[in-house]
Amino acid sequence: GAVVSQHPSWVICKSGTSVKIECRSLDFQATTMFWYRQFPKQSLMLMATSNEGSKATYEQGVEKDKFLINHASLTLSTLTVTSAHPEDSSFYICSANGGLSNGKTQYFGPGTRLLVL
Amino acid sequence: GENVEQHPSTLSVQEGDSAVIKCTYSDSASNYFPWYKQELGKRPQLIIDIRSNVGEKKDQRIAVTLNKTAKHFSLHITETQPEDSAVYFCAASPSGSARQLTFGSGTQLTVLP
């Protein structure tokens, strides 16, 4: 149980284009999902908290207009990187709180590696 | 906000030896402390967690200890094996409904055969 999928796993795009990343909880409902960014050999940095049916909460320094988050259902959150630039190249990982009684445990998706040329 | 510090950044041990990774946190309201293992290019995997109402938890070769007074917690891996080689992250989560995690900077563990 508590499986989180993410799609796509790899994406290469040209500078200026937008990229959408999907995060799905496969066997449970997640009212809250989280989006992280990880640079090589660095820790996971929380970008935003995605809440089903409401606006996402962004961490300080994260541009909400650049990283659009939509959490339209209890099993799906999407992150859209708008007008991507080479500095947006990174590993993007989502997570969801899994289970009923263990509401604090976060299960991670496999990540999406974005390369902007 | 919460700040989590993790040491050491790299750790090499001989196969069969023990490994210890330590973390400190700043927010005394934090009450949930998970540890994740991340292999290169893969997702972080939860390996053990502890809540603030207990001081120690063990799962086979892995154990975590928590000292709430000193605001630090540690991961102990005994009888290390080459497949334990990975990056380990500690994290802390404050009480309340936000359920956010603040991660430490990570420890690259290498188990030498």
| pLDDT confidence tier of residue B96, bands split at 50, 70 and 90 | low
| pLDDT confidence tier of residue A90, bands split at 50, 70 and 90 | very high
Does A32 sit within 8 Å of B103, measured CB to CB?
A: no
Measured CB to CB, residues of chain A less than 8 Å from chain B are: 32, 34, 42-46, 49, 93, 97, 103-111, 113
Residues of chain A with Cβ-Cβ distance to B53 below 8 Å are none
Does B102 sit within 8 Å of A108, measured CB to CB?
A: no
* CA atoms of B94 and B31, how far apart (whole Å): 6
Measure CB to CB from residue A111 to each of B43, B98, B99 and give the nearest one.
Answer: B43
Q: Inform me whether the C-beta atom of residue B95 falls under 8 Å from chain A C-beta atoms.
A: no
| pLDDT confidence tier of residue B100, bands split at 50, 70 and 90 | confident
Q: Residue range A12-28: average pLDDT?
A: 95
| pLDDT confidence tier of residue A116, bands split at 50, 70 and 90 | very high
Residue A99 in this model has a pLDDT that exceeds 60: no
The answer to whether the CB of B15 falls within 8 A of the CB of B81 is yes
* CA atoms of B102 and B112, how far apart (whole Å): 30
| pLDDT confidence tier of residue B109, bands split at 50, 70 and 90 | very high
- Those residues whose C-beta lies under 8 Å from the C-beta of residue A25, and which sit 6 or more positions away, are A2, A3, A4, A33, A74, A75, A76, A96, A98, A107
Residues of chain B with Cβ-Cβ distance to A45 below 8 Å are 103
Consecutive H or E run containing A40: none
Q: Inform me whether the C-beta atom of residue B45 falls under 8 Å from chain A C-beta atoms.
A: yes
